[in-house]
Amino acid sequence: MSPAQAILSDPTLKACLPSSFLYGAASASHQIEGCIGADGKGRNVWDEILKDKKGENGEDACNSYEMWREDVGLLKEYGCGTYRFSISWARIRPQGDKNDKVNEKGIAYYSNLIDALLEAGIQPCITIFHWDHPQALEDRYGSFSSPEIVDDFVEFARVLFERLGDRCKYWITINEPHIFTMLSSMTYMKDRWNKDTDYARLAKTLLLCHAKTVDLYRREFQPTQNGKIGITLNCDWAEPIDDSAAAKEAAQVTLDLVMGLYADPVYLGKFPDSLKSEFGEHAPSFTDEEWALVKGSSEFFGLNHYGTSYTTGERLDRATASPVEYAFGRTKRVYEKDGKLIGTKGENGHPYDVPWGFRKLLRYIHARYTGPLNLAIYVTENGFPVEGEAKLSIDEAVNDTLRQTYYAGYVEQLLRAVKEDGIDMGGYMAWSLLDNLEWVFGYGPRFGITVVERDNGFKRTPKKSAYLLRDVFRYALGGK
């Protein structure tokens, strides 16, 4: 029996989504485009970080810079109504700064992609920044270590609104500021990173980049373009392993540091109380004028979610915690309880398949943020890398039963959150359209709903999970 049958055989889930719901797939520029020196593109920080990792960097990636028509064809075949992709800052402004000349060939690439999407009946959802800022800004003033980047960021966004905004109704300012900060601390900022001060400092800079970009869009472009704009945050659910106060507190600290550090300012106009004890004198703060921009600066809740862990209540030592442990609140997280795994393990343990954790997180976000503000949640990433898939034959990779099971479980929880919990869900975008570059992990983890044969002309082959998603969302949207 197909993993989709739990949904397709339930008449209460048929047509449970509004017609405005956006189903689609997601990608990011550096992870798929390749052609890193083509047509005037400048170097970005990831070109530099991975330059010595031949075959495991973004030099050719999925060659979507040349094969974007094939990508649009796949999206149409999969029944997608939206495509979330990001813009390479260095393709548009090679040197990155606000006085840099716009690279017209870069604009043309994205403009042609948008036109093809619209012709296929697919709404573009553009991420302005998905981590690949120009290396020139890092060389000039340390990029996001300096508040100087805020003006350059906003003026980069202005170009996109001016040149592409007439055809794009969905904008995401920044993808996952939390993971971006963590990866920055492990890569290009590693030698200068101060974990006592820099998590808070980058949070403030990133939030100002976001808020001032939203302010620009609302003042100068939204009145005529009529789009929506917001931010995407990552969060996996943290479940206390038992009823102890320590385990519960650790779960809340994890949520506060991963998501609340950004969500509370944007949606509630304050920082979580727990951050005062975590950051002490270095806790981020804003002026009254800055708070006026930050609070209310997202018109939806963009959520990237993958899995769930247990929190034991143990806090890890500040001095010895790894960058990943530090980024996740220095709380000890485990994936087994009473001798039983929390769920099926994905590549590198990211994620474990735990659909009930997804439902709990949706309820938490609804109760804390979106319900009182009457906002919709858009799942802008969700996916599963089958362990060892890179070693499988094409036929074996296509028959991705574990990924199908993952998607069926998570989508069912999303539909039941709408039907049974009354949660406003605006969209769902699978991560990812293609088997693509996974940053420092190279091409080992395969999240894609499409196989990409990088040694065979980047040939694309749909996986069965792509059709499962097509079928369940068609059913939930009332189609046949």
Give catalytic residue positions.
176, 381
Inter-axis angle of helices 149-164 and 198-216, to 10 degrees?
A: 30
**HEC assignment per residue over 213-279:** HHHHHHHHHHHHHCCEEEEEEECCEEEECCCCHHHHHHHHHHHHHHHHHHHHHHHHCCCCCHHHHHH
Rounded to 5 degrees, φ, ψ at 17 are -100, 145
C-beta separation of 333 from 254 below 8 A: yes
Classify the C-alpha dihedral 207-209-210-213 as positive or negative. Answer: positive
Two tokens at 344? Answer: 């099926």
Query: If DSSP codes are grouped into helix, strand and coil, which group holds residue 318?
Result: coil
Instruction: Please say whether the beta carbons of 256 and 275 come within 8 A.
Output: yes
Instruction: Label residues 272-298 b or e (16+ Cβ within 10 Å = b).
Output: bebbeebbeeebbebeeebeebbbebb
The pair of three-digit structure tokens given for residue 68, joined into one six-digit string: 């974007």
Q: Kindly report the CA angle at 401 between 396 and 404, in degrees rounded to 5?
A: 130
- CA 472 → CA 88, 171, 253, 371, distances in Å? 32, 26, 35, 26
What is d(CA 353, CA 367) in angstroms, rounded to the nearest whole number? 24
Number of H helices, E strands in the chain: 21, 17
Which two tokens mark 408? 């069926």
First-to-final CA distance of the chain: 19
For 418, half-sphere exposure in the C-beta direction (CA atoms, 13 angstrom radius) is 23
Question: What is the distance between the alpha carbons of residues 188 and 192, in angstroms, rounded to a whole number?
Answer: 9
Q: Please list, in sequence order, all residues whose beta carbon lies within 8 angstroms of the beta carbon of residue 450, skipping any fewer than 6 positions away.
A: 74, 433, 434, 435, 460, 461, 462, 463, 466
Among candidate residues 163, 212, 205, 151, the one with its CA nearest the CA of residue 180: 205
